[in-house]
Chains A and B, each alone.
Chain A
């Protein structure tokens, strides 16, 4: 079983602060996805990274895929209350099911 470990499990910060959450594995993935989930809804895809060392930016969110394609990070600049949610990473392989981490619950206080 390929495991994805996310850290921290919980994070509570004030509006305007920066933060980084991590997704680590001992396995290599062909791609890695980040999702955000709000209460009562299913996860929504934020980004997919496929190339080792790749960096993608989505407004205030910066995603990086590790050189060895085993880990990833999500950095949020100047967090807003609307960023609150459960952030999940998922590892994809060339065929078969995605493996999800347990998520980081982010709370951004006004």
Chain B
């Protein structure tokens, strides 16, 4: 596609439920990032995929968070047993290659945990 696509754009869930957030990066981009953003704040790094290398998971806040990237393309961020503090915008970005840190962002998924 022309840009990074994220779905759903909005997700409302109940505390304790699991959610899956999807990211379709720009075709051919080898690097993929997930960030979390609270209202009016900066970006909190979650996880980084680069080609076939082991992902950098150093930003995941707890073991309830996990992410996969299948076939070097689509990525899914899963949050298990959601908590109210997980409410935020989850942003995905892709980049053509490592060392070229020009990130192209999707519009994000607004997650609300009630």
Contact = CB atoms under 8 A, between A and B. Distances in A.
Contacts of B99: 30, 92, 94-95
Interface string A69-103: 00000000000000000101010111111111111
Interface centre among B43, B91, B101, B108 (most CB of A within 10 A): B101
B33 A97 contact: yes
A64 interface: no
Contact of B91 (A42, A93, A96, A98): A42
A100 B35 contact: yes
A33 B98 contact: no
Contacts of B40: 86, 105
A97 B48 contact: yes
Chain B interface main SS type: loop
A31 to B, nearest CB: 6
Interface residues of A, number: 28
Contacts of A90: 101, 103
Contacts of A68: none
Interface stretch (A12-20, A43-51, A55-63): A43-51
Nearest to A105: B40
Nearest to A29: B101
